[in-house]
Structure 1
Amino acid sequence: MSAGLGVILGQTKNLFSYNTKSLLLRYVQTSENVNPKKYTASILLPQTKFPSRISGKKRVDMDKYLLEILKDITIRSKIIRGQRVHFIPGWDCHGLPIEMKALISLKESAMNLTSVEIRQKAQKYANEAISQQRDVFMSWGIMADWKESGCYFTHHTSYVINQLRQFITLYEKGLVNRDFKPVYWSPSSRTALAESELEYNEQHVSKSATIRLLLDVLPPALVSLKGHPVYALTWTTTPWTLVANEAIAFAEDVKYCVAEDSEMNFYIVAENLLNKIQEKIGILKPSITITGTELRGGRYLQPITGLSSPFVPGSHVTTAKGTGLVHIAPGHGMDDFLIGLANKLPVLSLVDENGCYTADAGPDLVGLNVLNEGGEAILNKIQSNVVHTENYQHSYPYDWRTKEPVIVKASKQWFINTSALKQQALDSLQNVSVYPVCNSASSTNSLTQQVKMRPYWCISRQRVWGTPIPVLYYRDTGDIITNRDWNERLCHLMQKYGLDCWWELPIEKLAGKKLLRELEVDASELERGQDILDIWFDSGISWSTVLPDGKADLYLEGIDQFTGWFQSSLLTSIALQGAAPYKSLFAHGFAVDDKGHKMSKSLGNVIDPEEVTQGGEDLKKKPAYGVDTLRWWVASHGTQHSLVPVTEKLLKGSAESVQKLRLIFRFLLGALHPYPCDTPIEPEYHYLDKYLLHQLYHYDKRIETLYSNYEYHNACRVIIHFVANTVSALYCHLIKDRLYCNSINSSHRAGAVDVISEILAVLTRSLAPILPHLAEEVWLHHPDNLASVPLFHSAHNLPKDWDQPSIAKVIENALDIKAAITKLATINTWELAATITLNPAQYSIVMALQQDESSTTSQLCELFQLSAITLIAKDGIEDAVIDLKPIEKSLCARCYRYPEPQPGKLCARCDDIISHLST
């Protein structure tokens, strides 16, 4: 007997529980004098070899077996709708994380390696990681040509050469230049970093200081205080930057108070911050109130050098904290630098690549680490200026690889002029769709704000594992040497000798005779550049290598890529081809643990995807959930939230959802079992059958829309709801009698089987993008799939005439009445007869299911599961009036639907079937 029987025969609220004995038990209850076993062979029970459950090693083996015919969610959802998709996997292979991983085991010996040796170890590490990752991606059923020729790699020669050519184009356009500007600098990594390579530590503690700076020139609004000491109060969390102070910035529209202390010193502070300042330095008596603009013309004495420095306006100055006045060090702050440019201030950087003061900072500071003893040394040096210090916990940028704090310092770097690209980039985003739709507004705003706020883009890094910036320099002046002809020579050298030739070949070989002749210099007068390109430039230029027309339909990545790949791709594409490289963006969330913490090996809270799919060493403790469970979790939770929890509870829930779907598919496959029949049968469709096709038609349209909008979480919700309610609880439950108890050659049964075949075809395809293994496994067990053709090699179109609102109106009105009957019934409804009084409007609709006023065989009886129904029309009533009465006879011992004509006898239908079988 089929294990799927109970979902149809069992009158249970748990749609997915199975009771294989339910039918036989009901036979026994029908008549004590009848042996129901003799009718078992005549019941057309579902039959299939599709297993009800796969677990442990069998689950892993099945995943491997199905691997060769599987695709990926987004791509699969397009392909199954008949679209052609070209997906090329790629790996960003350069960058500090790989370089560090390659060297970490070498420890101190890594310091003695040459640049080429470091590159070779990094390349070996990258290639090994690629091989491992590729195997995992393939095991997850992601569609691609996984051969090396079908992928792209940013460390391959062809990719690097394309980068060099794109760089020189940007250089010729004047969009790339070398300049002395502040950048995020990681002393622990000894390289510049991009904003996207930072993570902010909310528990960072700085020693903040409130500093008083004596005015040597009073602004006109404060001339009445001439002869009195007047100080500007400024507050900083980076006292070490005071060595490079060049100005004090004020907010033009803020009211400032000049207040007097007990020693007749006057302090300038934002009026609304006066009370907080008094808590730190004591009572201050307000004397004069001025606006920020009235501070123009004032000057103060720089605390380290004693030189006179100006007050300048600053749009970034606020009164949210501090004093309302901000000390400006153009060499150590992005906003400070812009203010410095506007006011022609010097840009000093007195910090080396290790984060220590250089000799130019003074003999008492040289060599001190600015984040540690350097800050303390400054405060001691200007002790008379320090009026208050405190430990201040705040958000501070850290190097995301080393987990150490960074600093901002000016240095010679290569930059892309984003100011020249911003407006065109912002305009192009107007034509870019952002998904999921539920997050599109905030995501689009995030990207536009990032582009608007970015002052410049530093594209140089001080490492060796990457693409070299193709420039030479004069040794004595540092002036730049590069052009397209020489760049092409370099590309040719790399094709001939390999990418390491930049570090291996002598300078005369790199430069070439032609360039040396044009420059009229000896090779000894030149040196090669030591910088590599930022990995975001590396990946951001991928559109120019991978996309034939330079534009993709979709870029899909995590939400962090609004500051990374999405943005770098946009800016490089605007610069080089004047348009965005994508038509749409899809951003998914980040996996976190059940406490909302980001997955981290150091925290020990990482859930290994491979362990989820294949299980742990002990499969009882760490079961093999299979690839489909992992994919269901991704689809259900990965698109609507920025933080996506990965917990055992959610994984078990995903496994349960997949298992529920498996059991329903098992029943549907079993119902299609091809019982032998001598003659072809023309299906006859009931209203319920047509209603299901109507529902299936709209379900398919809904699923197509959700996939088109990348709303995978909603697709999961709709699939589960439709399968559990419309398919299982409604249709499959109501056709059980036709399916099991009608004869093999029944046209009514053939109609139900035909609809089940359509249900299976549509459901399998709707599920395939998310659960490819289950979908393919179902298709391999389909009775019509005799040649084991993969699902994606088959097509299925839904006819428009399935859409029948008039049919839906009839069934839905009837279902409303059925719900009322269910509430009233206290016994099996097949043992009841009903008299139902309706208003004329309802009566005219429901009569489509029962042509006669009274019937025992109508479609309405099947729908309501009543042995007999009498319909009466009556004016003046709104809701149906239902009168239920038990039937006087027992139910048929074979079908348990129709009353038996006399004790121990079968109903007319069953008697006819048994009679034909016996002959």
Structure 2
Amino acid sequence: MCADTPEYKDTLTLPVTDFPMRAGLPKREPEWLARWEKIGVYDRLRETAGDREPFILHDGPPYANGHLHIGHALNKTIKDMIVRSHQMMGHDARYVPGWDCHGLPIEWKIEEQYRKKGKNKDDVDVVDFRQECRKFAEGWIDIQRDEFKRLGITGKWENPYLTMDFHAERVIAEEFMKFLMNGTLYQGSKPVMWSPVEKTALAEAEIEYHDHKSHTIWVPFSFANATGDLAEARVVIWTTTPWTIPSNKAVAYNNKIAYGLYRVDATEEESWTAAGQLYIFADALAEDALGKSRVTEFSRVRDVAASELAGLICKHPFNGADGADGFWDYDVPMIDGDHVTDDAGTGFVHTAPSHGADDYEAFVARNWIDRMTHNVGEESEFLPHVPFFAGLQVFDRKGKEGKANNAVIAKLVEAGGIIARGRVTHSYPHSWRSKAPIVFRNTPQWFASVDKEVGDGQDEMGKTIRERALNSIDQLVQWWPQTGRNRLYSMIEARPDWVLSRQRAWGVPLTCFTKKGLLPTDEGFLLRDPAVNARIAEAFEAEGADAWYADGAKERFLGNDHNADEWEQIFDVLDVWFDSGSTHSFVLRDREDGTPDGIADVYMEGTDQHRGWFHSSLLQACGTKGRAPYKNVVTHGFTLDEKGMKMSKSLGNTIVPEAVVKQYGADILRLWVAQTDYTVDQRIGPEILKGVADSYRRLRNTMRFMLGNLHEFDEAERVDVADMPELERWVLHRLAELDHVVRDGYRKFDFQGVFSAVFNFATVDLSSFYFDIRKDALYCDGADSLNRRAARTVLDILFHRLTTWLAPVLVFTMEDVWLERFPGDESSVHLVDFADTPADWLDEPLAAKWAGIRQVRRVVTAALEIQRRDKVIGASLEAAPVVHVRDKDVLATLKSVNFADVSITSQVQLTNDPLPAEAFRVPEVEGVGVVFEKASGEKCQRCWKILPDVGSHDHAGTCGRCDDALS
């Protein structure tokens, strides 16, 4: 609204603000970052916390080895919103960022540098090598810290936690030694996932699955002790890992599967089978298997009962092979196992307990651990003692297929030990670092038992680690979303013992000693001496874990109480998941800004961390403190491109946080996070970001309107709620409703719900309704007008709530808005809390009344829009619609307010007359029709309303309201 003449225009109270329409975020955001650092916002909140209840989100440490990707930005922004919102809801919300610093990825980078220089890692002093790893991590920590801070993430950035800090290394070692002392630590020999490229055992969290083309072979085993027709028969296995055949120790069947004896009647010209030969297959798979071996005709001779297979002994396919010196001349028993199926293969499973989890468990159940083989080395090469295949690799150092599979197949053909071969593409485990396939390999490793009684007296959640973990999941932790509970519970329920050891150099060593000459199962094999443990801890605190590798370390730690010559010092390092799983101790428990019980309010990470950090932290804490280290677990999904595809450099669909920040600003990236449902996989891309930027502009305009109309607002103007017009009291009712939604949403980590509610309120209830109506009073009413003073009072109330409610999301923009009203060297929106909202603002009857008024207004607005489209009128103030309302109660409601102002028309006629046929209707609003009429009278030169009284007052060309304002 604007006056036609210059002199009247100057009498209007138009918005005044320096708040720019264009945000200029990429350029201005660094200025706010510098300002926050200068005034010390984070530390000031800690210093003024008083008796506020602490709230701690414990940071799952990112890995210090590269620039941030979009997943990092999503993760840290969600964490920041959690921390900031809880701070503004009255908590002392502390956030200590951290980094995972040890482990294979960094070690691998240093090795790559060595290889480029022609150096060999094994020729470098281990402490020197570790120092290079430390330096590499330090460099990336500094880079990532700046990148995180640029996103507006608050926290104790000048004093983060690092798993390679000396105190952290001490505590990690101490936590490990708790497993040593409580009896859950043991050395075992079992198949583990092993990377031939990286030459180390891998955890499940370090594995990803890719399609891999494998050899398939069908191998017949002859019986050594069968009688009757079975004496001439052979049982056939199928495998996709021919290289494991030299380590075969049994053949498994399932007594629930139907088996048959089959005779070959005819074959193709080229076949490894011959007419008359007898084979045993699962009935469901016989035809397929015989077809693969080029059998053209066969007969099913009879059933083979599982009871006939029990007790049978097979011969290894290489039994009696020339040049093998009897290496495979051992019994291969038939064993029953539930893991055998007739879905694929032959219904029989080749069993190599050194190379398969099911195979191993079958041997453990029979107490046959002494039958394990050690035929494959750390580079997936056959060891020197294996005939025919010594030195041949399954995979080479680049992860490509070696010669082992083809050599084994060729030897089987030579020995008559194969009836068919082929290739199959299937999902196969790979190292997520080297991207190379892994092998299952029997090797001595250190384990934490999840089913042995811990015996530390902390039995409230159970006596074993598994019991404690499962009970913690159900009794102590809230899951957001609940599906996270189900996923982690099933993982813990089914998981094997925890493999703690890695055969690497950069990490915290397994600080233990073993007695020479004793077996791992012997009493006294492990040294359990609190004095030794204390000396190790003291040294690590002062010198870091490098102390373990110093000359004379063994003698130093064993002291005078133990003969160093009788003990072996272990040089494996801990799985890095044990490092990060221990952080609750040296961050939450040991820091001043932690919590004495070492339990965090929230752990928040991606869904992959159900098998990673959530998992390892749970196991580690259940082993050392008897319970989970967290009260809430919040999970986010993965970030995909706009088409729902996984991002990759090769596809060119990656979105880099730095690029988004440079183009739009960090607040746009943060707003994208707030607008998305992070609990599932999210999408991001150029078009999505454009939509986010549009939402931002609409919200910014709302804030700019409030700032402009609050110019020079004075407390003397404030109107008590009881004296306010209904429209203002309706806004306060909506604020009271929204206050509950916002607080409840933030408490439940539902940022999408919070932002959606606030955004819709700001753009629909305010900009499109309340502001639209009250512009006239704000611009044209006199300074003492109740409508104008009440509107300004409500704008002030809105300002304090909207800026603080949105501050956890739009950290830069809301600071900009706040400082526009409250400038000052020490001022910041991030130093204030959400304003308390009086409960008595809620007024349901008033809300119901105005919901009805808005329904009728919709019909009027839609009717006038048609007139505007047809160019009958240029603005709604040119109209004086006749509104027909069938319901007398609704009519009375409309007459109780200034419905012309509500409709933004100059005049309005409300009537209970029947709806004329030509009346405009909206189907969903029954009993209301609008007949368009033009407003009668002259146009006020100041407010532009068309009214009959214009021109009849002291001030020429004005209406009565404007004449009063001018007087």
Write the deviation string for residues 210-249 of structure 1: whole angstroms up to 9, x where unpaired.
212123334xxxx65245x222221111110111111112
Tell me what 2:628 maps to: 580
Report matched runs for 1:36-47 at 5 Å: 36-47=5-16
Match of 1:348 in 2: 373
Structure 1 equivalent of residue 831 of structure 2? 793
What's the CA shift string for 1:20-68, capped at 9, x where partnerless? xxx46xx4xxxxxxxx233111121111111111337633444534543
CA distances 1:379-413 after superposition (whole Å, capped 9, x unpaired): 11111121111121111111111111111111111
The answer to whether the aligner puts 1:540 opposite 2:581 as a matched pair is: yes
User: Is 1:910 the counterpart of 2:962 in the alignment?
Assistant: yes
2:530 is matched with: 484
How far has the Cα of 1:468 moved from its partner?
0.8
Give the equivalent residue in structure 1 for 2:237: 234
Counterpart of 2:310 in structure 1: which amino acid? R
Deviations 1:338-376 (A, max 9, x none): 011112331112111111000222254344446521111
Check the 8 A contact 1:259/1:287 in 2, yes or no.
Answer: yes
Q: Secondary structure at the match of 2:937?
A: coil
Kindly report which structure 2 residues correspond to 1:110-121, keeping only aligned pairs within 5 A, or say none.
110-111=120-121, 112-121=123-132
Contact 1:675–1:744 (CA<8 Å) still a contact in 2? Answer: no
Residue of 470, 495, 503 corresponding to 2:511? 470
Mapped contact 2:373–2:442 kept (Cα < 8 A)? yes
Q: Report 1:557-596 matches (<5 A).
A: 557-594=605-642, 596=644
Structure 1 counterpart of 2:485: 444
For 1:572, what is the secondary structure of its paired residue? helix
Aligned to 1:15: none
Counterpart in the other structure of 2:756 = 717
CA contact (8 A) 2:174 2:533 kept: yes
- Tell me, yes or no, if the aligned pair for 1:244 and 1:331 is still in contact at 8 Å: yes
Q: 1:555 aligns to what SS in structure 2? A: strand
| Structure 2 letter corresponding to 1:736 | K
**Shift, 1:602, TM fit:** 6.9
Distance 1:252 1:235, change over 3 A: same
Q: Which residue of 2 aligns with 1:460?
A: 501
Deviates more, 1:830-839 or 1:418-427: 830-839
| Residue 895 of structure 2 corresponds to residue 850 of structure 1 | yes
Counterpart residue identity of residue 404, structure 1:
A
In the other structure, the counterpart of 1:741 is: 780
Aligned to 1:404: 436
1:658 to 696, 712, 723: 696
Match of 1:620 in 2: none
- Amino acid across the alignment from 2:236: L
> Do the aligned partners of residues 497 and 834 (structure 1) sit closer, same or farther apart at CA in structure 2, a change above 3 Å counting?
closer
Query: How many residue pairs get matched?
Result: 849
Give the match's secondary structure for 1:885. coil
Distance in 2 between residues matched to 1:800 and 1:638, nearest whole Å: 30
Question: What is the correspondence of 1:315-354 to structure 2 with a 5 Å cutoff?
Answer: 315-345=338-368, 346-354=371-379
Q: Deviations over 1:671-705 (max 9, x none)?
A: 11127899887785222211111112212211222
Q: What's the RMSD between the two structures over aligned residues?
A: 2.6
Distance in 2, Cα, partners of 1:311 & 1:444: 40
Classify 1:607/1:678 alpha carbon distance in 2 versus 1 (closer, same or farther; 3 Å): closer
Describe the shift of the 1:580–1:512 C-alpha distance in structure 2 as closer, same or farther (beyond 3 A).
closer
3-state SS of paired residue (1:879): strand
Unaligned 5+ runs, structure 1: 1-8, 10-22, 28-35, 616-622, 852-857
Aligned residue identity for 1:664: T
Pair 720,319 (structure 1): closer, same or farther in 2 beyond 3 Å: farther
1:295 match: 309
Which range is displaced more, 555-564 or 376-385? 376-385
Q: For 1:426-825, list aligned pairs within 5 A.
A: 426-437=470-481, 440-441=482-483, 443-474=484-515, 479-507=525-553, 509-516=555-562, 521=563, 523-547=564-588, 548-594=596-642, 596=644, 598-600=646-648, 606-613=654-661, 615=662, 623=663, 625-637=664-676, 639-642=678-681, 644-674=682-712, 684-782=723-821, 789-795=827-833, 796-825=835-864
Asked if the contact 1:416–1:457 (Cα under 8 Å) also holds between the matched residues in 2, the reply is: yes
Counterpart pick for 2:82 among 68, 74, 80: 74
The answer to whether the aligner puts 1:832 opposite 2:879 as a matched pair is yes
Asked if residue 864 in structure 1 is aligned to residue 900 in structure 2, the reply is: no
Kindly state the Cα deviation for residue 812 of structure 1 after the two structures are TM-superposed. 0.6
Is the contact made by 1:677 and 1:744 (CA closer than 8 Å) also made in structure 2?
no
Offset of 1:328 from its aligned partner?
0.9
Match of 2:405 among 371, 375, 381: 375
Q: Is the 8 A contact 1:837 1:882 kept in 2?
A: yes
C-alpha distance 512-430 of structure 1, shift in aligned 2 (>3 A): closer
- Classify the secondary structure of the residue corresponding to 2:429: strand
> Do 1:66 and 1:776's aligned partners in 2 also have CA atoms closer than 8 Å?
no
Match of 1:16 in 2: none
Cross-structure match for 1:136:
147
Q: How far apart, CA to CA, are the structure 2 residues paired with 1:292 and 1:632?
A: 64
Q: 1:271-282 maps to which residues of 2 (within 5 A)?
A: 271-281=283-293, 282=295
Query: For residues 910 and 355 of structure 1, do their structure 2 counterparts lie closer, same or farther at Cα, with a shift above 3 Å needed?
Result: same
Letter in 1 for 2:659: E
Task: Determine which of 246, 253, 258 is the counterpart of 1:250.
Answer: 253
The letter for the 1-side match of 2:692 is S
**8 Å contact 2:935–2:946 — kept in the other structure?**
no
Structure 2, unmatched stretches of 5+, are 43-79, 266-274, 319-327, 396-400, 453-464, 520-524, 589-595, 868-872, 916-924
Displaced runs of 4 or more, over 6 A:
675-683, 874-878
Deviations 1:751-802 (A, max 9, x none): 11111222222211221111111111111112x5667621133341111111
The alpha-carbon distance between structure 1 residues 224 and 717, as it changes in their structure 2 partners (threshold 3 A), is farther
Say if 2:25 and 2:667, in contact at 8 Å, map to a contact too: no
- Who is 2:449 aligned against? 417
How big is the shift at 1:496? 4.2
For residue 897 of structure 1, report the CA deviation from its aligned partner: 2.3
Moved more, 67-76 or 772-781: 67-76
1:266 to 254, 266, 278: 278
Distance in 2 (alpha carbons) for counterparts of 1:339 and 1:731: 73
Kept in 2, the 8 Å contact 1:742–1:749? The answer is yes
Q: SS at the partner of 1:412?
A: strand
Distance 1:508 1:902 in 2: 102
- Is the Cα–Cα contact under 8 Å of residues 641 and 683 in structure 2 kept in the other structure? yes
**Distance apart, 1:601 and its partner CA:** 5.7
Give the C-alpha shift of residue 432 in structure 1. 4.7
Q: Which residue of 2 aligns with 1:49?
A: 18
3-state SS of 1:911 partner: helix
Moved more, 306-315 or 470-479: 470-479
User: Separation in 2 of the partners of 1:154 and 1:864?
Assistant: 64
Distance 1:778 1:433 in 2: 38
How far off is 1:317 after superposition? 2.1
Contact 2:635/2:679 (8 A) holds in 1: no
| Matched position secondary structure for 1:728 | helix
CA distance in 1, matches of 2:708, 2:715: 17
For 1:906 and 1:146, how far apart are their aligned partners in 2?
A: 62
Match of 2:135 in 1: 124
The answer as to whether partners of 2:607 and 2:635 remain within 8 angstroms in 1 is yes
Compute the displacement of 1:834 (Å).
4.0
User: How far is 1:195 from its partner?
Assistant: 0.6
Offset, 1:880: 2.8
**Residues 1:788 and 1:116: Cα distance change in structure 2 (over 3 Å):** closer
CA 1:902 to 1:183, structure 2 compared with 1: closer, same or farther past 3 Å? closer
